[in-house]
Amino acid sequence: MRENNVRNLLLTMYTPYMTTSNLIRHITGFTGSNAIVVLSLDDKHYFFTDPRYDIQAEKELNGGLFRIHTCVAFTKIFEYMKESGIDRIHYISDITPYTMVEGVAQGYCIPTDGSDILGDLIECDKQEVYVYREKFSGDSYKLKIARVLRELLKNNQEFKEDSVFLITSVENISWLLNIRDADDHNTVPAVLGKVLLFGDASLTVFIEGDFIDSSLDHELHSDPDINFVNKEDFNQQLNNSLFYDVTTIMCTDVRDKGQHINDPITRLRAIKSHVEIANFIHIHTIDSFVLTDFLLNYINLGTYSEMSASEHLLSLRSAHKLFIGNSFVSISACNGSSASIHYHPTKGKDKKVDRGVYLLDSGGHYLGGTTDVTRTILVGQYDVSEHFKQHATRLLQGFIDMHTCVFPCGTSGKVLDVLSRAPLWRLEYNYPHGTGHGIGNYLNVHEGPCGFSSSTELQANMVLTIEPGFYCSGKYGIRMENVVFVKECGNGWLKFEPLTWVPIDLRMFHLNTLSKEQLLWLSWYTREVLKRNSKLGLSGNAIQVLLSDLETISLII
């Protein structure tokens, strides 16, 4: 730093592709997912994180080296630094999102080349890239390019046929070109790279890696409209009058003449094609069977720890030929652990799963789609408290009310959100997370822009989760999560259709306080779970459990 005349250097958690990097973890030891560091030659270094991680940061960082600050908005950091008497800060253009420094007074933030100071610490590992076949991705890249261009021209008067659009969102690039990272352990298998889309439907593409499947990538590489180049050549082409989406660009991508427009891929990606929906139905059927089998036949054996349970589940999922890997790190949590929303067991320190409340939030990437399911069940001969039952029942009501709602076109998830919350609100409880998120096709398990916290209008064939929760600190947590897709009723009305068919443990609820409509849905859902999973060979024991559930409900209706 001294050599480069840098006294204060801003570091982020981002790679040059706005994915998460290990830079800050490497330098500070911090393992959380949100932080900014300012390395300083003057005094201690500065460490900023959000309030979720205040205790963790104190624990993991060396207080002799870092001043730790928690703040909700990272845009306040520069104000804070100014007030602390720091007269200027250097940042590394490559790993600093444009929106982070955009509003800061000129001359205060100074761009610098990170490789001089950090060397290969900010370089990304080379990926092995492969083509995600059309029968899984839904549409050809040719068709997708044409649709994206049409949207660009339709939505932006300024965007003409001789304009150039810089695509920097790696999920959007992977969707557009039907390519994925070949690493099965990558829960977000997006391909790192950047793309220039020209008004004549030709592309210039830089990919941080090599293609591994020569037969399938042949079409891409032999397409005269696609020009694969290396990083340097790509960056040289940026000297155009570019259009880009500022929300996903790094400072290094910004050219003087650039202009912001929304990347239309983000919305297009969220609306699944008919092929994608058919695939989602198929792989959710498979995944639901694995989970149903696991929850009804295995978890009660009393032989699992939190960790071994999720490992066994992974092995059951892996048996299917379309399965690729976990879509996120499973939350396998018993009793007290289940009250921590983001709990992950660690080997050796995990609990036994023998008696009590067990919460399992897991999902898989498959060729053809991604799953994300949560069930909370009672393990062993365990009687829950009245407090538990009351809250669980309200939770179930909110879960059902969202599943059964019908809504006019033009309605956003945000408008519907309260339907899942209102029953728990009656007990003066509000779960401290969203009601549900969009899901990608073997890409992000959390995919924008649709979801129940979003003002994006819901459209037919969007896929999202419904996952209300209740958490009683130190004692237990309950969450139920299904994946659903938006379906047309006709005449401008929409509804949700479940993709997940996994049993709900009825022992947790006061079923007699449900409304008749709620009971009818529960009965229908349980019947469907039974029907669909029986077809795939569910064991006789498990079938007995579901039949007995159906009888329980029918006695109340």
Residues 546, 400: Cα–Cα separation, whole Å: 18
C-beta atoms surrounding 85 within 10 Å: 8
Name the minimum Å distance from CB 420 to its own copies: 11
- Sequence letter at residue 393: T
3-class DSSP assignment, residue 41:
coil
- For the record, the structure tokens of 378 come out as 């009672």
Nearest distance from residue 527's CB to its own copies, in Å? 21
Contacts with 342 (C-beta within 8 Å, 6 or more apart), sequence order: 331
Using the minimum distance from each CB to its own copies, give the nearer residue, 97 or 423. Answer: 423
Q: How far is the CB of 396 from its own copies (least distance, A)?
A: 14
Q: CB of 451: closest distance to its own copies in angstroms?
A: 15
Asked whether the bond before 449 is cis by omega within 30 degrees of 0, the reply is: yes
| Beta carbon nearer to its own copies, 350 or 417 | 417
**Residue 481 DSSP one-character state:** B
Query: Where do we find the tokens 């001789």?
Result: 162
Output 301 or 422, the one with its CB closest to its own copies.
422
Shortest separation between residue 407's beta carbon and its own copies, angstroms: 6
* Nearest approach, Cβ of residue 85 and its own copies (Å): 24
**Beta carbon nearer to its own copies, 416 or 463:** 416
Residues 459/282, Cβ–Cβ less than 8 Å: no
> Which of 302/408 has CB closer to its own copies?
408
Residue (36 or 494) nearer to its own copies, CB: 494
HSE (side-chain half, CA atoms, 13 Å) at 109 = 23
Site residues for its own copies per CB under 8 A: 401, 404-408, 415-419, 422, 425-426, 428, 430, 489, 491, 493, 513, 515-518
| 146 vs 406 by CB, closer to its own copies | 406
CA dihedral 224, 158, 177, 183 (to 10 degrees): 130
Give the length of the chain. 557
- How far is the CA of 469 from the CAs of 177, 372, 429, in angstroms? 37, 15, 10
Residue 111 sits at the vertex; the CA angle it makes with 228 and 33, to the nearest 5 degrees, is: 75
In whole angstroms, how close is the CB of 513 to its own copies at the nearest point? 7
354 within 8 A of 380, measured Cβ to Cβ: yes
Task: State the nearest-atom distance from the C-beta of 397 to its own copies, in Å.
Answer: 9
**Contact (CB, 8 A) for 368 and 349:** no
Q: Which CB, 260 or 426, lies closer to its own copies?
A: 426
